[in-house]
Every structure is written in C-alpha cells, then in structure tokens.
Chains A and B, each alone.
Chain A
Amino acid sequence: MRTHGAVCNQPVRKGPSGNQFPLSNSSALPVGLRVIDIQEQRVIHAPTTCRYVVLSYVWGSTNFLQLTKEMEHQLQIPGILRKIPVPKTISNSIEATGMIGARYLWVDSLCILQDDQEEKVAQIQKMDKIYANSLLTIVAAGGMHADAGLWNTNSNGVRVGQIREEVHGLNFISAGPDLMKTLEKSVWIQRAWTYQEYVLSRRLLVFGEYQAYYSCESAGFAEDYVHRVSSNGTQELQAAADDEFSTSVSVAHQFPTFWPSMIRQYTNRSLSFDSDGLNALSGVLQNFSQGINDGFLCGLPVSTLFEVGLLWVPSRTLRKRGPTSVGSQFPSWSWVGWVGEVSFEVGNEDSDAILDARVITEWSVSYEHGILRSTDLHFPSAAGQLSSSASSTIWKAANSSLQGIQTGYLYFTTKSAMFTIEESYWNQFVTPDDFDCKHNGLYRILHEGTWIGSVHLEHSTARNLSVGPGHTHEFIVLARSGGRVEPLRIPERPQTEESNWILLFDEGLLEQYQEDVYDVMLVIVEQDVAYRRGIGQIHRDSWDNAGWQLTKIQLG
C-alpha cells in the first residue's frame, strides 16, 4: 500500500483564485478542550499532545446522555462510560476509535458543557480548530438519531445487504452505493451542523447503512471494494483520485472553493434551532476567511459587502429566522435573517471589478457590544493572497473583531427613490417544472410608465407589498454594475445549460449601454429602520433621471 504522507496530514483547501490555504493554521489544541479517553472510559481535559478522533452525527429528538454541570464530576470517574447508558452511536464510535488505534474521541454532547452558554459559545467559535486538528471524523451517516448506532445489523448482529452468488465457479457480490450516494441519501447531510463537520475534516470514516467508507485528501476506500489485485495476489484497497477506474474518490474534491456555493449548500440544510443560524457555519467561515483574505459579517464577506454580499436572492420560499440565543433579531439584510436556500447571481469576484462597482465607500455596523466602522476593517484585498506578515496581522485583527457578531444594523448613505412595481413576468418564460418559479419571480420596476428595471421577489412578499398601480416602494442603491462586473441576471431556464437570460428592463433602453445598471434593494421602512424585501437592478440613466435623493439608511 502506498503512503499518502503529508498530503493527508497537512491538507489544504483551495480558494477562489486558485490559492491554497491550510485546513488548519495552528496545530495547538483549542483551550478548554475535553475528550473521551477510551482506555479509561471517561471524559477528561485533553492532554496537550492528544491526537483525537471526532464524531459527526445527528442528535435527533431523543433525550440522551449529555455533559452538564451536574454530570461533569461523574463523567470524569474512570470506567464510568461502561457503567451508564451511552447512546449507541457514541458507544459504537468509542469502539471504532479503538479499532483504528486511537485513544481519544471528541463528541460534542459529552465534551461541551451543554448547560453553560458561555462555554458553548466559546467552543462553537473553535469548531474549525476542533475538526481540522483531529485525526479523522467518524460520520454516522446511516442513522437519524444519537441512539441509532454506527453499523447496521439485524437482530442477530449480522450485517445485511450484500448479495453473493457463485456462477460457474466464480463468486460475485453486489456492489453497494458509493460514498457520495450514501451521503446524499442520508439524514446526516440534510443537517446544517454537519456541513462544517464535513468540510473541515481532515479525513472521513463514514458509516452508512450498507458499509463503511474511508475518505482522505488523496484517496477513497469502501469496505466492499478492492481497487487492484496484482499478479502476485497483493490487494490494494484504495481508489486514488487520479485513477482512471476510481469509483470512490476523496470527498475533499466536493468541497466548494467559492463562498457563495458554500452559503447555498448550507442554507439548503436544516437546523433544529433557528438561533444556531450562524453558529453552525462559524467554523467554515473562519476557515474560508483565509482563502478569500476577507472576514465575514453576519455570514457575508466584509470587503464586498455591498457589491456582492447583500445581493443574495432566495431559491425557495423563505421564512424569517427566529431570534438568537439572547433574544436578538437576525438582520434582514443577511441570508442568516431568513430560513431557506439562497443563491448569489452576481458572478464576478475580481477585485478590480468590485472596486468599479463600489458606490458605498463608508459604512458602519452597530451590534450588541459596540460599533464597527468600515474604515476600521482594513482587509488587504477582495480576492488576493496575503502578501506579507504585516497584512496578515492586519487581517487577523480585523477578522477577530468580526467574530461573534450575529446581529446588527448597517448604517450608510446612498441614493433612494420611489417606484411602482408590476406583477411578475417571469412565469410567462418558464415552465411549471422550473425549480422556483412557483415561489419567486422577477417583478418589473416602473417609472412614469417605463419599465426601468426588475426586482427579484418572493410571490408572498409581493402580495404583502401591494404590488400594482397606485403603490410606490422604496429602492436604495447598493452598487453599480457594468464594465467588468456581471449584472444581476436570472437564468430563463435554470435547469438547462444554455445561458438564456431575461431582459431586466425595456428593450428601448438598450440603445444605451445595456449593462449600465444599479444593483438595488427594495426595502420597507418601519420606525426609521429599513428592512430588505428584494434585490434587483435598475437601468442607471433611468434611475438618475428619476428624482432620487441621498438618504441615510439604517438597515435592520
């Protein structure tokens, strides 16, 4: 068998510009880390040099053993985990950890004090380090709750599923699903928390309904698969990523390199508690920050907040997210303020183009513990690599100040104007099979009877806004598009490969430069606070001739 060596021990992730950054930028264990010592069968504070395995699983709705202040002392007693009922998935994971020769296992429910909010918050913010520094992640992909167990056996303890027949002296077996198929149909992959556990893992040991799989940076393995048998009978289990006949390659190749893809994938998953909207992604955001040389504010990139970040649109019907754990409302301007899948239709992340698009140069955010100003956040560039230790220091300081901000009001000054909007015209272009026309659509923006732009709205939102003649709605400018920046464009038929696009304003305006538009937000204002309702684009000259005014915006 070949040794993968440093590739798997020090994995890297790819950034959007092809740059690479380490999965973990520090091998130091997170402060306060607890682990299960599987030899002593108890929960301990992690030794300094401990190498541990982590478990990623679905909690489900069942009550099970958890670390609480009351239980803390008891769970530290040697041998205790043999004496009290431990959920089957966790006890199986303790066995699996022993099988690979490791001694320590980290399981969130037993290694974080569940009734200590301060510790929970602190540990959640270290989730990237906890996963990235682990030896491997055990994934319980076959179960729907913590007591389901890792391996799927019948009542006699025998695994079921594999079919075997002898045909003319040759033995054949049925092949199980490959790893990606196993993950795709699991409950595990539908859960939001498991997203970062998946993306941040160094190696995966996946237990599916059918069999176990192992996936690292450079290869994939399945229990029922032998990749090669040499002429002397030596077996090779792995299917390497670059092998022509690989059927089970590393899932690391599935990880997104572009943060909008990450947000789309994450928002398609579900959470038990609305308040975890950002918590369950905080580790990935920390990690991605390195790749794009940027920080995230409420889940949106700071250096391109107005030019890209705020321009998300819903893919499905959204609902307002419930409050944070301390009762604050998540902001309407971020995807985290809503529950449901969103996507970003602006496709150009080039840093120079972003500067061309910039309209709002100064802004601030007020949050629970103070105010941050854009001038305080000196990120070196939108997409470049860190070029010096000095810029790295600046970035780390700025990024650090963003950690933990989950809510806040954005303050900025921009152009605003009132326009009428007309009911959706998207439906006349799409067939009922198209994925989201039932819930969302493009609505025409009108000024003095001329169609000057379009706004992407959920139909339910449009109904509440009283769309139609006699009603005007406030739009604010976020950025400008044109030149090298792709304008916001909604594909006519999203499921096809052809790039057919819908015209976003009257064809007569095309005589002027067609991509010369403003990216705008439709807002409603309640008690001087503006709230996001939709994103669109308006022909720039038409806007400039429409009687706009400069307005101080407080966006909540």
Chain B
Amino acid sequence: MSIIIDENTKVIVQGITGRDGSFHTEQMIDYGTNIVGGVTPGKGGQTILDRPIFNSVSEAISETGADVSVMYVPAKFAKGAMLDAANSDIKLLVAITEGVPTLDVLEAYEALTAKGIRLIGPNCPGLISPGKCKIGIMPADIHLQGKVGLISRSGTLTYEIVKELTDAGLGESTCIGIGGDPIIGSKFVDLLPLFEDDPDTESVVIVGEIGGQDEVIAAQFVRDHMKKRVVAFMAGVTAPPGRTMGHAGAIVGGEDDTAAAKIAKLEEAGIPVAKVISEVVGLLQD
C-alpha cells in the first residue's frame, strides 16, 4: 500500500496544454500514471497526448471520474484554477505552480477546505507512490518502491534524500513534497497520521527547513501519537536571520524558527536529526 495515491488513482491535469503541463503529463503517462484528461478553459473538446481536454474541472470529473487534479497553471492564473477545482467534487488538488500570491493561496485554500478537498502545495514537486503513481515533476528513476514514507518542504533536496534511500535499497512507500511557501495546503502534521496508519510504511523521514513552526508541531505529534520510527533532516542551519532563502516560506523571523531551534525540538521529541544527508539512512536503520 501507499498513502493518498496508488495504481487506481485517476488524474486530470489543469494547464495540460501549457509548456510545463504537457511535458510533465507525458512524463507521468510514461511512468504509468492514469492520466484521464486535462483542463484548459477555452480548449474544451480538443485532445492532447490522446487525452480529452475540458473547460472546467467539474466537466472533466463528470466525463472521466477523475479523483485527483494536478495543476501546472502559471501563477497569475493559479487562483482561478484553484477555485475551479474547489467548485468540483475532486478529492485532491496538487498545485505545482511556483510564485502564487499568498492571499490567492489563502482564499483558494479556504474554498477547497470548505468542500473537504485536500490541497498539496503550492510551489511543490508533487507526490509519488513508487511503482504505482507519480503526480508532479520529480525525476522517476531515482525512486524505488519500498517502506519509507517521506514528507518534505523542498524539491531537489528531497531528490537527494530519495536517492540515498534508493541507493541503500530501502525504497519509498509515498514521497510528498508539501511546498516551500508560507501558506501550504498540507503540512507535516496533516500527513503524518496517514503514514502511521499505512501498513506498508515502516518509517518516516521529515525534511524541514527554516521558517514557521510546522516541524515543531510535527515533533509534538510524533511524540504523542506515532509508534513508527521518524527521523529528520533540517536545511538552513547556516541561514542568516531576516533573509528569505529562496522559498518564500524560508525566512528566519525570530529565535523560534531557526534550524537550530527546530532541531532541538525534534530531538527533544525523540526524533533523531541527520547532520548531513548521508546520515539519514543510518538513522532509519538504527
């Protein structure tokens, strides 16, 4: 098993006719993801990559029975696309788009949540259950089906850690990039319970960074509610305060959201924290 997505997941792509959307749709199809259609307002009735295009998410769902939408729409149009998804019966929206204005995300998050739709992202690489379903932009060949769950605020840093897991033969049940923005739809604490309940996940890696309190809240949850082994890696130990480090969400605002403060909280909760990436595998096997 895996969490959230598997071989039965039916996926539509919002922004399927765009440069990024069409490229990654092809990659996902190659991986075996069941892409059943796409949405580009105004292009309904046409096809791309042998898949039908619809004008709205609702229309796409009623025609294809899709349960997940993945969005590659440019930032300027992201709010409209997210509200379109909120106006449908989709179960999950994965927002890959980078640079969406914070207030747009906030409003879309509220609309999606009111409908019980889970949001992952924005500004994230997506999620993959290796061997079953890939939704997003991550390179496929570094992944191996296995029993480690992974949740990360970063993209390429995640790939780096996945490669370590795969090279060590551990493999992954599901890897989720939750995104690097201040407002994101799913946080560590929203996803950890799913891994705890998944019989095929044996352990979990949390990949965090500076900014916010999500890792601290995750640490409390792990301590109070999880039996499975959880280990962590934190980026930004050397980040100077007051500077946004690339991700809009990665900024050290006070003494509480530095990497050092978070590492201390994670360790207090019994979560070992790797000092360098190559230590992650060893900590999982301890």
Q: Do A and B bind each other?
A: no
